[in-house]
Amino acid sequence: MSIRKHCLILCLTLSILTFLGCVSFGRSQSDFLISLPIDCKLGKDCFIFHYVDTEPSSEAIDFNCGRQTYNDHTGTDFGITNLKAMEKGVKVVAVAPGKVKRVRDGIIDKLIVDQTDKDEVTDRECGNGIVIDHGGGWETQYCHLKQGSVLVKPDTQVEKGTPLGLVGASGLASFPHVHLTVRHENKVIDPFMGKEAISGCKTDKKPLWEAKIDYQPTGLINAGFAPQPPKSVELWEGKFLDQKLSKNSSALVFWVHLYGIIQGDIESFTLIDPKGKVIIEQNKPVKRSYRNWVTYVGKKNTPDNPIISGIWRGKYQLTKNDKVILEVSQEVEII
Ligand SMILES: [Zn+2]
CA atoms lying within 13 Å on the CB side of residue 284 = 13
**Same domain for 327 and 285:** yes
Domain boundary among 150, 174, 189: 189
Residue 69 CA to ligand 1 center (angstroms) comes to: 9
Residue 103 CA to ligand 1 center (angstroms) comes to: 18
Residue 18 CA to ligand 1 center (angstroms) comes to: 40
How far, rounded to the nearest angstrom, does the alpha carbon of residue 144 sit from its chain's CA centroid? 15
Give Cα separations from 223 to 34, 203, 329 (angstroms). Answer: 32, 37, 8
Would you say how long the chain is, in residues? 335
**Same domain for 170 and 51:** yes
Q: What is the pLDDT of residues 52-98, one digit of tens each?
A: 999 888 889 999 999 999 999 999 999 999 999 999 999 999 999 99
Q: What range does the domain containing 329 cover? A: 219-334
Cα Rg of the chain (Å, integer): 24
Q: Kindly report the number of other CB atoms within 10 A of residue 103's CB atom.
A: 20
Q: Which of 27-36, 112-121, 246-255, 272-281 has the lowest mean pLDDT?
A: 27-36
pLDDT of residue 286: 95
Residue 166 CA to ligand 1 center (angstroms) comes to: 16
pLDDT of residue 8: 41
Instruction: Kindly report the CATH number assigned to the domain that includes residue 223.
Output: 2.60.40.1220
Instruction: Kindly report the CATH number assigned to the domain that includes residue 72.
Output: 2.70.70.10
Instruction: Please report whether residue 11 resides in a domain.
Output: no
Instruction: Please report whether residue 2 resides in a domain.
Output: no
Residue 133 CA to ligand 1 center (angstroms) comes to: 20
Residue 77 CA to ligand 1 center (angstroms) comes to: 5
Domain boundary among 189, 211, 227: 189
Q: Pairing state of beta strands 91-93 and 76-79?
A: unpaired
**Same domain for 245 and 113:** no
Instruction: Output the pTM of the full model.
Output: 0.89
Q: What is the 3-state secondary structure (H, E, C) of the chain?
A: CCHHHHHHHHHHHHHHHHHHHHHHHHHCCCCCCECCCECCCECCCEEEEECCCCCCCCCCCCCCCCCCCCCCCCCEEEECCCHHHHHHCCEEECCCCEEEEEEECCCCECCCCCHHHHHHCCCCCCCEEEEEEEECCEEEEEEEECCCCCCCCCCCEECCCCEEEEEECECCCCCCEEEEEEEECCEEECCCCCCCCCCCCCCCCCCCECCCCCCCCCEEEEEEEECCCCCHHHHHHCCCCCCEECCCCCEEEEEEEEEEECCCCEEEEEEECCCCCEEEEEEEECCCCEEEEEEEEEEECCCCCCCCCEEEEEEEEEEECCEEEEEEEEEEEEC
Domain boundary among 171, 189, 207: 189
Instruction: Please report whether residue 141 resides in a domain.
Output: yes
**Same domain for 131 and 232:** no
Residue 75 CA to ligand 1 center (angstroms) comes to: 5
**Same domain for 237 and 112:** no
- pLDDT averaged over every residue in the chain: 91
Instruction: Please report whether residue 77 resides in a domain.
Output: yes
> Structurally, how many domains does the chain consist of?
2
- Measured CA to CA, the distance from residue 191 to residue 194 in angstroms comes to 5
**Same domain for 157 and 276:** no
Instruction: Please report whether residue 160 resides in a domain.
Output: yes
Instruction: Please report whether residue 283 resides in a domain.
Output: yes
Residue 24 pLDDT greater than 70, yes or no: no
Residue 53 CA to ligand 1 center (angstroms) comes to: 10
**Same domain for 254 and 153:** no
Instruction: Please report whether residue 32 resides in a domain.
Output: no
**Same domain for 328 and 232:** yes
Instruction: Please report whether residue 325 resides in a domain.
Output: yes
**Same domain for 302 and 248:** yes
**Same domain for 155 and 112:** yes
Q: Which of 6-10, 131-135, 170-174, 331-335 has the lowest mean pLDDT?
A: 6-10
Residue 26 CA to ligand 1 center (angstroms) comes to: 28
**Same domain for 148 and 66:** yes
**Same domain for 185 and 63:** yes
